[in-house]
Chains A and B, each alone.
Chain A
């Protein structure tokens, strides 16, 4: 079945450092790809998405490019802030076995801590 592999954490960076969180996937077909973020004590929030090869998703200074040739969707940010401390999940959208709808397959999450 489809799967998502994420860079293991935790990741600790100083403020203004460059961030990369690696994500690779295996899938049949052409899934949409997502990054979700979970701040402490909150639910998962959609951070960005890309629906086809070479698309770049971006939001709040974060970017990720859908690379079909390397089956990757790495998350990057040029200058992290303390407020970016959270758990980041990479996910892909695939069809349920019933074909009734799409559902999300998640990676295991990467804890990011940004120090002042």
Chain B
């Protein structure tokens, strides 16, 4: 399966811990988007990255959240000092240029 791969699929953290979510885009895609889905809500845009660059992070919370997409390896969404309100499904999508987005299966974060 050459689709977008996200891991872990499920992650449980206690308040104050760090969460790291990984996303490997479709082979050859250099554009990555992260979305968050809170319970009973639609997906909300967080950040758009190209290799080694954050292009738009207008949807990212100002504190505790960061994202990267290094030259080699997957894109990482990092949440420091997690709180219960961070519990959500986090979806990654990739595209070849700025065309159709291909989504991963999501990573479900639960904060205890």
Contacts and interface: CB of A to CB of B under 8 A. Distances in A.
Tier of interface size on chain A: 20 to 34
Interface string A64-76: 0000000000000
B100 A46 contact: yes
Contacts of A106: 35, 42-44
A108 B48 contact: no
Nearest to B101: A104
Contacts of A45: 103
Given A43-B103, A43-B104, A96-B58, A104 B45 contact: yes
Contacts of A46: 100-101
Contacts of A105: 42, 45
A108 B39 CA distance: 9
Contacts of B93: 44
Interface string A85-116: 00001000000111011111111110000000
Contacts of B48: 96, 100-101, 103
A103 B91 contact: no
5 contacts: A4-B42, A101-B31, A103-B33, A104-B45, A106-B42
